[in-house]
Amino acid sequence: MLMTVVPTLVFTSAACGADSTSAPLPEQASASFSAIDSAAPSSAAPAVSVTEASQLEVSRTTQGANATIFGFSGVGVTLPVTTTNTTPQQRSGGWMVRFTPSDKDEWFVDATWFGPGLPGNASSMEEMGARARQRIGNDFSSRSIPVPGAKQAAEWRWSDPKGDPELLDGEPTSTLTVAALGSSGYYYELTFTAVTSDPDAIAEAEKAADTIFVETSYPR
């Protein structure tokens, strides 16, 4: 078990009523990439194959006044409208894309596309969770969750009292990962990291995590 030297506020389900002063995100239960701006370059790009890992798709579109849908190689998430990242509306140069909801360094999300099948020849989502627990340590919990468009999905949570000197000013952090195996067989992980002492940032990240969906027709 990781030693905690500060009060630890780990992610809790948004359904539990976490308070936040941030604007609410729109419901995304029925969202799909058909809503993404058809003018975005990625919408006209050819389907991505495993051999094109350096050319993953990233697109975004404003949805309402307070949120933005981001699509990343077949997985989508709704984030605050102020969200920035290094490659909006173009094809990304790597496997992972980091979305930063603001310039306040309060929280961020890493979206990672692993291609078809579970990575590392894992046989199940349960095995993926067990591997994550082994990497992270005892301060780790996991559970199965429903994600629109996914065959299987899991939620992993943990906290790091040491933080990371290069992330979020080195403050203690709380992390939530949604791991999803899409109905088309592609595997994704979206990892939300927030400052443990900032309940508003945690609540905002929670709301975003609840909007994740997988595009069932990807790759087109």
Is 21 part of a structural domain of the chain? yes
Give residue 28's identity as a one-letter amino acid code.
Answer: Q
Is 11 part of a structural domain of the chain? no
Is 109 part of a structural domain of the chain? yes
The rounded mean pLDDT for the chain is 72
pLDDT tens-place string over residues 82-136: 777 644 444 444 567 788 876 666 899 988 888 888 988 899 999 999 999 999 8
pTM: 0.73
With CA atoms as reference, report the closest residue to 79 among 103, 56, 62.
62
CATH number at residue 104: 3.40.1000.10
pLDDT of 31: 39
State how many domains the chain has. 1
Is 124 part of a structural domain of the chain? yes
- Alpha-carbon gap, residue 58 to 90, rounded angstroms: 6
Is 2 part of a structural domain of the chain? no
In three-state form (DSSP H/G/I as H, E/B as E, the rest C), the secondary structure along the chain is: CCCCCCCCCCCCCHHHCCCCCCCCCCCCCCCCHHHCCCCCHHHHCCCCCHHHHHHEEEEEEEECCCEEEEEECCEEEEEECCCECCCCCEEECCCEEEEECCCCCCEEEEEEEEEECCHHHCCCHHHHHHHHHHHHCCCEEEEECCCCCEEEEEEEEEEECCCECCEHHHCCEEEEEEEEEECCCEEEEEEEEEECCCHHHHHHHHHHHCCCEECCCCCC
Is 220 part of a structural domain of the chain? no
Average pLDDT over residues 20-24: 34
With CA atoms as reference, report the closest residue to 8 among 130, 162, 136.
162
Residue range of the domain that includes 148: 16-45+53-214
Is 6 part of a structural domain of the chain? no
